[in-house]
Amino acid sequence: QVQLVESGGGLVQAGGSLRLSCAASGRTFSTYVMGWFRQAPGKEREFVSAISWASITYYADSLKGRFTISRDNAKNTVYLQMNSLKPEDTAVYYCAANVAGRLRDRPVEYDYWGQGTQVTVSS
């Protein structure tokens, strides 16, 4: 069983930055692909970014250049640095784990999920 706990969400003005963290349990964290997704009210959950065990990264095209994913395997933690935030980035952000180690962008490909952290960007 893998438990994921996100933190770092909050309220920020447009143009500001936030860094989300996701702490994971599990002795084999370093082998997982970790992903970030987000879900705005009334919308489907959408892919943000993912990172492999070797720190190969994958981003949604619309977010490249503003968001950066990283991981610290020694701390069992994955991060999402979000810069130049826009009101349309407002959503609940979730981290997820693909234990097979596959770099994927569909929610169904991920095995474990955190509870989510709210990010609100005011205009």
Strands (E), 8-89: 10-13, 18-24, 33-39, 46-51, 57-59, 67-72, 77-82
The dihedral through the CA atoms of 43, 57, 29, 18 has a sign that is: negative
Q: Residue length, the chain?
A: 123
Q: Going residue by residue through the chain (123 aa), what tens digit of pLDDT does each one get?
A: 899 999 999 999 999 999 999 999 877 888 899 999 999 999 999 999 999 999 999 999 999 889 999 999 999 999 999 999 999 999 999 999 999 888 999 999 999 999 999 999 999
How far is residue 63's CA from residue 24's CA, in Å, rounded to a whole number?
Answer: 24
**Burial code of 59-91, b = ≥16 C-beta within 10 A, e = fewer?**
bbeebeeebbbebeeeebbbbbebeebeeebbb
Residue 116 region, left (φ>0) first, then alpha (ψ -120 to 50), else beta?
left
